[in-house]
Structure formats: structure tokens, C-alpha cells
Structure 1
Amino acid sequence: MANRRPSERRGSSRRSSTAQFESRRPSIDPSRLVPMDKVSHIGGSDDFNVVFVGAGNIMFGSDEGPWNHSFRFEHKLGPRLKVVALIDPAIERATAVLQKKCDSFVVSAYQGTRVFKTLDDFVRNMNPRDKPRAIIVGTPPMYRGSLKPGRDLELQILQHFPGVAMFIEKPIATGPEDEIHEGFKIAKMISDSHTVCSVGYMLRYLKAVQMMKQIIDENNLTVMSTIARYACAYESIAKPDWWDKSKSAGPVIEQGTHFCDLSRYFGGEVDIDSVHAHSLEWDENAGRLSKIAVDESKIAPENRIPRVTSAVWKYDNGAVGNFTHIVALQGHNYSCEFEVYADGYSLKLVNPYVQPVLYVRKPGDDNETTIRFADDDPFFSEVSNLIDVIEDIEEDPEASQILSSYEDAVRTYELTWAIRKATERSRVARLKTIPEAVTE
């Protein structure tokens, strides 16, 4: 037992036979990540049936961010795209967004779309010709990632549509910590069924990120440290559930998950037992915010989110990871940076969500090289690669790859939960030493 890796000593029973991930994860030649406006839609004359599960912002866009999966599918598939069903319990919302599509130039993709409240409703009323080739899941994470009825969307898809490709938004769940093992079971079911499945960690598809991977691989580097910082503009977050840990699971699990995932993408597997973290909470003097867009007094004190979370851990190869999530900025723009260090090299990614900039320092030069990526669209790249894998159109198997499998996404979810639990443990320990701690 002593010769086994730290992550294996934690309990290998929950890890599948394919779980020996290394830091050299699947990557794509950055030159192949072409902007959406430089790509023609995929060829062919047969219809490509798709089911959209969820009629919210992630699927159809909003003013709050660049997400809009339907737009990317329309561009990738062109007239081949046929959205056979839109599934959302909010029928009026689904009908409204569908009408907008039918009133636009992409009407051919939506003129036959039917709206259903549940996946079961669609299955009961599905015509054989409407069998989907891909099911795109953009529902809130509380409805998936579990084996419990009502929160087992992946299992429903596997049961009703065996072999049909899936795209699942991140995080894979926001359920209680003791259900993480259910996520690993779902991952094994997906893997065992040979179902194509991609999870929406789109930052892996950034051209800058793939250039970082290319530098590491070409120079045979071993990552020594990853440092991630995510500072959100809390003033523009008006969704009450986001501020309630009982609903969103907290900002690290719901929002910071992207940077925890990037950390694992470069650093490799995390020794979960090594995770230590501290938080600045809402009831501490430094945690009082002046421009919260919701009435936080309506949220139970124990469910209010931390203002700062800072975590450190060891990777299985000995490298060190660090992540800080901050709820402090006002206005609209976030401030996010991600750094990777290896012998002689520093790679720093700045502003990955909007206008990514990569700063590279190499041996023999104390100055950094600045590389800007003004026209990159990782949302399109993840959709494009998923469809290419489904279509199996590339002769080169390295050309199109899914960079985040379901099992990989569960491991990121596990890390974010470990960070939250570590902050809760450190808070309890600190309060024991400060009986006069400030309360509301």
C-alpha cells in the first residue's frame, strides 16, 4: 500500500480502471482552433437531429456573457441542424425563445421543433425520424450528476438514447458532498457504454490554453506550480440562488470551477487529502460588501457565501496548486489570471473570458513575450470538436478531441467540494479560538 499514489490510497474503489490521469492530458494543435467566422458549416446533406435540454441563457444567450450554444450549433451544422425538441419545464420561456428563432434566418433548424416539459414527455411522443444524434444539456446543475430520481438526467439519457452523444454543462452537479461518488458511477456508465460525452469546460479549448500545452509538451516540461485567481464583479450578479450555498453550492463550486479545472488540466491529479483552505466570510469585518444586488438578509446566515476563498494543495506528482476566488469587484468586468510554472518557464494567462492575453517567459530571456488572442471563441471550438468526433470525419485521430470527459469533470467537482469543506473546517477551528467573533 505504501507504494501507491496518494490519490489511490484515499480509496481506489471509486476510481475506474481508466482513471490514471496524468498532467499530459489530451490537447489540440492551437493552429486548428479557427475562429467561427473563418469556418464554413460542416458538409453533408443528411439532417443532424439535436435535442436541447434547457431554454435558458446558456443555450440561447443573454447580455450577461458570451455563452449561446444554439448559435454555435447553427454555425457549425448550417442547414443540416434540426432541433427536434426543446425541453424545459418553463413552457412559456421555451416557446418564446423558439419563436425568436423561427422569426430569424435559422428558421429551418427550428420550424419542426416541439417543446416538452420533460425528457420522458419527449420520449413518449417522439417520432422515429426525430431520434437525436446529440443531446445538449444546459439545465441547472441541481438536476443532474446524481443517481437520485429527478436529478439523474444523464441516466435518463443513457436509458432512452443509448449511444447518443451528450454535451453536459458544468459543473456536473451542485448536490451534497456525499453524492460525489454517484458522479463517478455515472462516469463509468458513460465510459462503459462508449457514449461520446463532452463537459462544458470551454477554457480548455482556448487557443491560448492550447498554446500553453504545446509549449509544455514540446519542451518536455514538468509543471511545478499552478496559481489561479478569480475575482468576480459581484455588483452585476443579481441571481439570488448564486448567493445561497444551499442552492448554488457556493461560488467555488458554481463559478470558480473553471479555474480549478484549468489547474487540474495542467497540474494533473490532486491529492484531495492535501487540500487546505481559508475563507473570508460575510460576518467578518473585511467581508462586508456595499453593493450586493440581492437582499442577503433573506438568506439563512449559514447559507451565505464567503467573500474570499484561498486554497492550496499538492498534485500527485509533487507539484503545488493554489486557487483564490474573490467576491470583491463592482461594475461588470471580472479580473482573472492563471499561471503555470516549470523549470525555466512561466506561462501567464490573463483575462481568458473576454480578450485572452498570454505572457510567456522562457530560459535565456528575462523578458516576457506577449501574445494576444482577439478573435478566439472557445465555446465554438468545444462544439466544433464535439460534432467532428460524432461525425468521425477526421482521418487524423488527434485532430478533433474532446478535452473534458465526464469523469474528468467529476474530479474537478470533487476538488471544488474539497476546497469548500476545507474552508469550513478552518472557519470552525478559528471560531473556537476567537469566542468574541463578529456576528450579524
Structure 2
Amino acid sequence: MVRIAVVGTGWQGQGHLSTMKNMPEIEVVGVCELNKETLLKAVNKFAVKGYTSYVDMLEESKPEGVVICTPPEVREFLVREAAERGIHCFIEKPPAKSLEMAQKVEDILARTGVINSVGFMYRYSPAVAYLKELIKGRRITLVRSAMLDGLALRPNWPRWFFNKEISGGPVFDQAIHIFDLSRYLLGEMERVTGYQDNLVVPKGEDFTVEDSFNLSMKYQNGILQNHTHTWSYPDVFTQIEFISDQLHLVLDLVNGSVTGKVEGEPISFQSDENALYQRELAAFAKAIEEKNPSFVLSTYKDSIQSLDVALKASDALELSTKNLVK
């Protein structure tokens, strides 16, 4: 059993705590949160010892790994304090707010040699693994992806999601998953252009993000991709479509399926997508237990490339607004 501590008890932190509670291979030995009221709720809910001091938690609970679910701007201190004690680090996305910040964290991880993982859970999907093997050695020319959600339509959703300075908006909260998975399957991106708008939810003092955007991306290998994203859709829809003269496949990340045709032959694959968070945490725990980082599918060093795409996308959307003809 691997001893794990958690820092940050917001939505994602509590989600991981709920997941690990039902994982026999993990023992949660401590949780850290600066907000005492929030901490008390987590302590009572998950029956775990709570700390308001991160260093005290690391020293007293003696975890083998730490799950970091805090805003990205405070990651450097948290990673350094853990890694220099030989404690392995699972870091939620986005890995950082800038490439400079990310490189500082990567330098710590490289110097200390601890196992590290970033929370890009789609890489652990059985449907993704199936698709990755299916497209190996086959030509892909065009990709169409879409992630449609209704966060902006939910009156009780936490308002900080809609503060671009804090959340980064849909690019950093959600679309970065598509960028990461697309890189994982197709290779590195070369260029990103795009447009944004707020046709459903206008921008205001408490809503500074775009509610919808569209991106065009070109890969170094020539593949072209169009990505459509919105927070103003009254349902949930996440798909990536792969097109060429050799195949036409649809990866549905909500239903965990792959459908379509490869060289004229019909394809149909279905998996259980409800366990992705468990799969990524199980891989992290197994990597620690067996001292084998190869179980981790998304290292921090690799995640910096996905961050770079998100930063390019964000810059492209801002540029499109400035270039609008009045």
C-alpha cells in the first residue's frame, strides 16, 4: 500500500480523495488546506488527518507521494518541498501558468529524480489505447475535435471558473486536455490560430472568459486540426474525429468508444470511461511501489509541451479580438 498525501481540497482535490478512498493500493495519510473551514469538511468527510501547514504534513505523515491540487502559480514551492524529501509528485493540470514557471518545476523534478505525473487522465482511457494502436503506421490528414459543455449556463457553478486571471478560461481548464491527447496521438503542433466570442454569455465584471472559441492547428508532420469549444452548450459532448484516405474514426471521450472504418472495415470499440481518475492515480501508485516511472503516461516534462499549445491558443484568441474590424 502506497502512502499518499493531498494538498488542496477544492473540487479536484475532493474528487481525488473520493477516488483514493476506494483504492486498496493507496492509503491517504494527510490532507493540507489553508482554509480551515474547508479543511475541516474534508477531514470529516474522508476521515483523514488535516494540516494547515504543508511542510508539517510532509514531515509528520511521511507520505511516499503527494497529490497537488492547488492553483498552478504555487506549484514550485510545493514540488520543491516534496521532491527534496524524496516524495513523488502527482500534479494537476495545468502544470503551470507560464513556460518559465513550468521550467523551474521541471528543473526541481529532474534534479531530485522523483517520479512525477500530471493529471491528463484521457491518456489512460482504454479507448485511447485502442485507437493509438489502430492508427499506428496509418496516414491521418485531418482532425476535427469538439468539447462542448454548459458551465457558463449553470447558476451555481463556482464563479472563479469565469475569472480568466484565475482559471485561464476554457482553454486552460478543459481544452488543454484535447491539446495534450492530440499531441499524444499525433505528434507536436507547429501553429495555432483562432477566434473567440461571447454570443450567449456576455463578458462582464464576473465573467471575463470567452464562452466559445474555435481553433485551427497545424502539426509539424502536416496534419491539420480544427477544434471547437464552448461553455454554453446544454449538455456534454467531447469527441475527436480522425480523417484520411485510409480511415475515418471517431473517438468519443464521454462514452469511451471508437467507431468508424479503417481501410473499409467497420470498427466498433466500447470501454468504461468512468474510472479514468482511478487509472491515472493507480499508475502513479504502481510507479512508486515498483520504482518504475514507465507506468506514468504523462510526465511533467512532456506536459510542458501541452502547456505551450495552450499558451499559443490563448495568445491566438486574444490576437483575434484585437484584430477585429470595428
* TM-score after normalising by structure 1: 0.68
Distance (Å, rounded) in 1 between the aligned partners of 2:104 and 2:188: 18
Distance (Å, rounded) in 2 between the aligned partners of 1:307 and 1:101: 35
Work out whether 1:254 is the aligned partner of 2:177: no
Distance (Å, rounded) in 2 between the aligned partners of 1:269 and 1:297: 36
Alignment of 1:35-50 (within 5 A): 48-50=2-4
2:138 partner amino acid: L
Distance (Å, rounded) in 2 between the aligned partners of 1:417 and 1:181: 12
Give SS of 1:166's match: strand
Contact 2:194 2:216 in 1 (8 A): yes
Equivalent in the alignment of 1:156? 81
Alpha-carbon displacement from aligned partner over 1:224-271 (angstroms, at most 9, x marks no partner): 333211111131262211112122122111221111111111121111
Distance (Å, rounded) in 1 between the aligned partners of 2:221 and 2:40: 51
Equivalent in the alignment of 2:257? 357
2:133 partner amino acid: Q
Alpha-carbon displacement from aligned partner over 1:47-85 (angstroms, at most 9, x marks no partner): 53221111222232xxxxxxx22233333335xx44332
Deviation at 1:376, TM superposition (A): 4.8
Bigger radius of gyration among the two: 1
Equivalent in the alignment of 1:131? 62
* TM-score after normalising by structure 2: 0.90
2:112 partner amino acid: S
Give SS of 1:322's match: strand
Q: Select the residue among 97, 100, 114 that pairs with 1:195.
A: 114
Cα–Cα, structure 1 residues 231 and 82, in superposed 2: closer, same or farther, change >3 Å? closer
Q: Select the residue among 2, 5, 22 that pairs with 1:75.
A: 22
Cα–Cα, structure 1 residues 308 and 376, in superposed 2: closer, same or farther, change >3 Å? closer
Once superposed, what is the RMSD of the aligned Cα atoms?
A: 2.4
Q: Select the residue among 294, 301, 304 that pairs with 1:407.
A: 301
Q: Select the residue among 141, 144, 151 that pairs with 2:72.
A: 141
Deviation at 1:337, TM superposition (A): 1.1
Deviation at 1:88, TM superposition (A): 0.4
Equivalent in the alignment of 1:231? 148
Divergent runs of 4+, >4 A: none
Give SS of 1:215's match: helix
Equivalent in the alignment of 2:52? 117
Equivalent in the alignment of 1:298? 205
Contact 1:275 1:311 in 2 (8 A): yes
Equivalent in the alignment of 1:11? none
Contact 2:247 2:264 in 1 (8 A): no
Equivalent in the alignment of 1:242? 161
Runs (5+) with no aligned partner, structure 2: none
Deviation at 1:133, TM superposition (A): 0.6
Contact 2:153 2:231 in 1 (8 A): no
Equivalent in the alignment of 1:319? 223
Equivalent in the alignment of 1:3? none
Q: Select the residue among 163, 169, 173 that pairs with 2:92.
A: 169
Deviation at 1:389, TM superposition (A): 1.2
Distance (Å, rounded) in 1 between the aligned partners of 2:87 and 2:309: 29
Equivalent in the alignment of 2:311? 417
Distance (Å, rounded) in 2 between the aligned partners of 1:358 and 1:131: 42
Deviation at 1:375, TM superposition (A): 6.0
Cα–Cα, structure 1 residues 393 and 305, in superposed 2: closer, same or farther, change >3 Å? closer
Cα–Cα, structure 1 residues 390 and 314, in superposed 2: closer, same or farther, change >3 Å? same
Alignment of 1:261-280 (within 5 A): 261-271=180-190, 274-280=191-197
Runs (5+) with no aligned partner, structure 1: 1-46, 61-67, 103-109, 435-440
Alpha-carbon displacement from aligned partner over 1:130-186 (angstroms, at most 9, x marks no partner): 321111111233432xx5xxxx32233223x2x32111111113x3xxx32231232
Equivalent in the alignment of 2:289? 391
Equivalent in the alignment of 1:346? 248
1:51 partner amino acid: A
Cα–Cα, structure 1 residues 192 and 268, in superposed 2: closer, same or farther, change >3 Å? farther
Contact 1:53 1:137 in 2 (8 A): yes
Equivalent in the alignment of 1:105? none
Distance (Å, rounded) in 2 between the aligned partners of 1:410 and 1:373: 29
Cα–Cα, structure 1 residues 324 and 86, in superposed 2: closer, same or farther, change >3 Å? same
